[in-house]
Amino acid sequence: MPIGKFFSRILAPLAAAALLSASAHAMKLKSQNLEELVTASESILIGQVVSVTDGFQDQAPYTEVTIRVGSDAKGKVKDDTEYTFRQFGLIKPRSMGNGKVYLGVTPEGFAKWREGEQVVAFMYKKASITGFQTTAGMAQGKFVVTNDKVINDFNNHGLFEGMDTSNMSTEEQNMITTPGAVNSATFMGYVGKLVEESKK
């Protein structure tokens, strides 16, 4: 058997298993508040998505995202640079050219990305084996900025639950009692406070 076919037969089921595992994990998504997202993230990128492509890495499907970083609230990524990462799963099903369609798209619960959107991305550390990366709390950790307001895929539901509010300013108190999208400046200011507190 040709070596290419051998690896294809071995790795394709592994990729499928990984997809099922990721999907199962996404269905059991644990709600995380903002403090937990800050703690879990390696970097917190504020910037614009400049490209979204997909492909295969060692038979595993991925979506590659590049963000033009304006700033990183944790100071790990330099301002005005491009940050590229790969997340498990294709953007959409892909024809394999042999009459078959590969269905290994980004699992439900993972962050979805679009070129041109302004985002705040709480980036979790890269996977040790594949190097794949996603946002902390999955889609909970990716916020879109529109009209000076930020919101995640869950309409910010549970974002401030269980948090100590005793040291919050009036603006921050108003933010946590506002359902849905919240003011971006107040949000990022509070994220900055949480980052500083996490260093203590």
Instruction: Give the integer Cα–Cα distance in Å for 152 and 52.
Output: 18
Mean pLDDT along residues 123-144: 96
Instruction: Give the integer Cα–Cα distance in Å for 124 and 86.
Output: 12
Q: Looking at this protein, which amino acid is placed at residue 194?
A: L
Question: Mean pLDDT of all residues in the chain?
Answer: 88
pLDDT, position 161: 94
Q: Which residue bears the tokens 């962050």?
A: 111
Q: How far apart are the first and last CA of the chain?
A: 58
Query: How, if at all, do strands 94-95 and 101-102 pair?
Result: antiparallel
Chain centroid offset of residue 163 CA: 22
Instruction: Give the integer Cα–Cα distance in Å for 109 and 93.
Output: 17
Res. 16 pLDDT band, cuts 50 70 90? very low
Chain centroid offset of residue 55 CA: 18
pLDDT higher at 27 or 89: 89
High-pLDDT (> 90) share of the chain, %:
76
* H-run or E-run covering 34: helix 34-40
- Whether 105 shows a pLDDT value over 80: the answer reads yes
pLDDT, position 108: 92
Q: Looking at this protein, which amino acid is placed at residue 86?
A: R
Chain centroid offset of residue 165 CA: 26
pLDDT, position 29: 74
- Whether 89 shows a pLDDT value over 80: the answer reads yes
pLDDT, position 28: 62
pTM (2 decimals)?
0.84
**pLDDT tens digits for range 53-74:** 999 999 899 999 999 999 999 9
Correct CATH for 3-198 of 2.40.40.20, 1.20.210.10, 3.90.1150.10, 2.40.50.120: 2.40.50.120
Q: Are 163 and 33 in contact (CB under 8 A)?
A: yes
Instruction: Give the integer Cα–Cα distance in Å for 78 and 67.
Output: 12
pLDDT, position 21: 42
pLDDT, position 117: 98
Chain centroid offset of residue 123 CA: 6
